[in-house]
Amino acid sequence: YLSTGMTFAGLQHEFYRGKSSIAVIVRDMCQKIWIHLKGMEMPEPTTDMWLSIANDFYKKTNYPNCVGTLDVVLMALVDANLKFVVIDVGACGQEGDSAVFKDSALGRKLYSGSLNLPPPAPLPNTSGNPMPFVFVADEAFKLSSNLMTPFTSRGLTARRRVYNYRHCRCRRTVECAFGVLANKWRVFHTPILVDPEFIDEIVKACCILHNFVRSRDGINYEDTEAHPFPDVVNCGHGPRGKGLD
């Protein structure tokens, strides 16, 4: 059901079981996947885990002190290897990104200072002032000391365009993770015609399985993510690109 996106009616003819029985089996399995694999595939982040995530982001995207990229409405924090670090399922689609994050468990922990984030540290290969570790998100989120958003597109200087480029390159890991998730688990290709609580369980199970598969299949991430950005002058000024072509 999760991998093919077949309906319960379609599975009924494949396995000669009633639709209601199949629904019970799928829901029970989703619950068990979350309960038994969450501690292994999506554990509560520790300070050492945050440092490891930041190191991976710097290697792959040249963005220092980044401990995850954010997106909603499935509020998800993703690492540099496209694995989900934290998810918060169940927000309504009409809610704004910033409001969803603020009301999520991750947002509450971030703003209360209880996330076990590492203390501020100098940027890699520098001895300057300590800088905080941050989440990278788009312009829909509210800028804070631990949450970075891009510069607005109006009046961008060359330095700000370079920053927006690196910000965008780093942040697209979360978009790539969603793309990989939806491509692997085709239940997301069509409307999921079950009750909202069941949908939450399906999403959580798929995120756990996504991490499980990526840990065991290996991670092939484009080496071009860390290539230099040679031509800053010709960057665009479009509102969607935040100063990027």
- Kindly tell me if the per-residue pLDDT of 222 is higher than 50: no
**165, 229 in Cβ contact below 8 A?**
yes
Angle, helix 196-217 to helix 158-184, in steps of 10 degrees = 100
The closest alpha carbon to 134, from 151, 147, 120, belongs to: 147
Q: Mean pLDDT throughout 15-41? A: 95
Categorize the per-residue pLDDT at 162 as very low, low, confident or very high, splitting at 50, 70 and 90: very high
Type of residue numbered 28: D
- Kindly tell me if the per-residue pLDDT of 43 is higher than 70: yes
**Burial annotation 103-122 (CB, 10 A radius, 16+ → b, else e):** ebebbeebeeeebebbeeee
The C-alpha atoms of residue 60 and residue 164 are separated, in whole angstroms, by 16
Q: Give the residue, 53 or 216, on which the prediction is more confident.
A: 53
Q: Mean pLDDT throughout 162-181? A: 94
- Reported in sequence order, the residue ranges of 2-126 that DSSP labels E, i.e. its strands, are 66-71, 75-78, 84-88
Q: Indicate the average pLDDT of the chain.
A: 86
Token pair listed for 13:
């003819």
- Using one digit for the tens of pLDDT, what is the confidence trace for 110-155? 999 899 999 999 998 888 899 999 999 999 898 999 999 999 988 8
The C-alpha atoms of residue 74 and residue 81 are separated, in whole angstroms, by 18
Categorize the per-residue pLDDT at 237 as very low, low, confident or very high, splitting at 50, 70 and 90: very low
Alpha-helical (H) ranges within 42-96 are: 47-61
Categorize the per-residue pLDDT at 44 as very low, low, confident or very high, splitting at 50, 70 and 90: very high
Cβ-based neighbour number of residue 45 at 10 Å: 21
Q: Mean pLDDT throughout 217-238? A: 46
Report the pLDDT value the prediction gives residue 51, as an integer from 0 to 100. 96
- Kindly tell me if the per-residue pLDDT of 213 is higher than 80: yes
Q: List Cβ neighbours of 150 (8 Å cut-off, separation of 6 or more).
A: 138, 139, 163, 164, 167, 168, 242, 243
- Kindly tell me if the per-residue pLDDT of 7 is higher than 60: yes
Q: What is the DSSP letter of 73?
A: T
Q: Mean pLDDT throughout 169-176? A: 94
Strands 134-136 vs 147-148: parallel, antiparallel or unpaired: parallel
Categorize the per-residue pLDDT at 218 as very low, low, confident or very high, splitting at 50, 70 and 90: low
- Using one digit for the tens of pLDDT, what is the confidence trace for 51-99? 999 999 999 999 999 999 998 768 899 999 999 999 998 666 666 777 8
The C-alpha atoms of residue 166 and residue 150 are separated, in whole angstroms, by 10
Report the pLDDT value the prediction gives residue 94, as an integer from 0 to 100. 62
How many residues are there in the chain?
A: 245
Categorize the per-residue pLDDT at 221 as very low, low, confident or very high, splitting at 50, 70 and 90: very low
DSSP-assigned letters across all residues of 157-213: -HHHHHHHHHHHHHHHHHHHHHHHHHHHSGGGGS---S-HHHHHHHHHHHHHHHHHH
End-to-end CA distance of the chain: 39
Q: What global pTM score does this model have? A: 0.83
Type of residue numbered 26: V
Q: Using omega within 30 degrees of 0 as the cis cutoff, is the peptide bond preceding 100 cis?
A: no
